[in-house]
Amino acid sequence: MVITLKVGEKTKKEMDEFYQDSKREKTPAYAIFQANSADSVITLYQSGKAVFQGKSADIDAQLWKEINQKYYPNMKQEEKKEKKKKKEITKRFDANVIGSDEVGTGDFFGPLVVTSAFVSKKDIAFLEDLGVVDSKKLTDDFICKIAPKLMKRITYKTIVLTNQDYNDYYSQDVNMNTIKAILHNKVLLQLKNKIDNYQAIVVDQFTTPKSYYNYLKDSKAICQDITFLEKGESKSLAVACAAIISRYFFIKKMTELRQKYNTYIPYGSNEKVDQVAVELAKKHGIDELKKLVKWHFKNLDKVKTILNEKE
Answer CATH for 97-256 from 3.40.50.300, 3.40.50.2300, 3.30.360.10, 3.30.420.10: 3.30.420.10
pTM over 0.75? The answer is: no
Give the pLDDT of the chain (311 residues) as one tens digit per residue. Answer: 789 999 999 999 999 988 888 888 878 888 899 988 767 889 999 899 999 888 778 888 888 998 888 888 888 765 566 544 433 333 456 689 999 999 999 999 999 999 999 999 999 989 989 999 888 888 999 999 999 999 999 999 999 999 999 999 998 789 999 999 999 999 999 999 999 889 999 999 999 999 999 999 999 999 998 999 988 888 899 999 999 999 999 999 999 999 999 999 999 999 999 999 999 999 999 999 999 999 999 999 999 999 887 65
- Report in angstroms the alpha-carbon separations of 238 from 134, 209, 248: 11, 19, 15
Which residues make up the CATH 3.30.420.10 domain(s) of the chain? 97-256
Q: What are the CA-CA distances from residue 54 to residues 41, 43, 82, 241 (Å)?
A: 6, 12, 11, 26
- Residue 88 is given by DSSP the state P
Q: Classify strands 49-54 and 40-45 as parallel, antiparallel or unpaired.
A: antiparallel
In the CATH hierarchy, which top-level class contains the domain 2-82? alpha beta
CA–CA dist 93, 96 (Å, integer): 8
Q: Is residue 244 a contact partner of residue 204, using CB atoms and an 8 Å limit? A: no
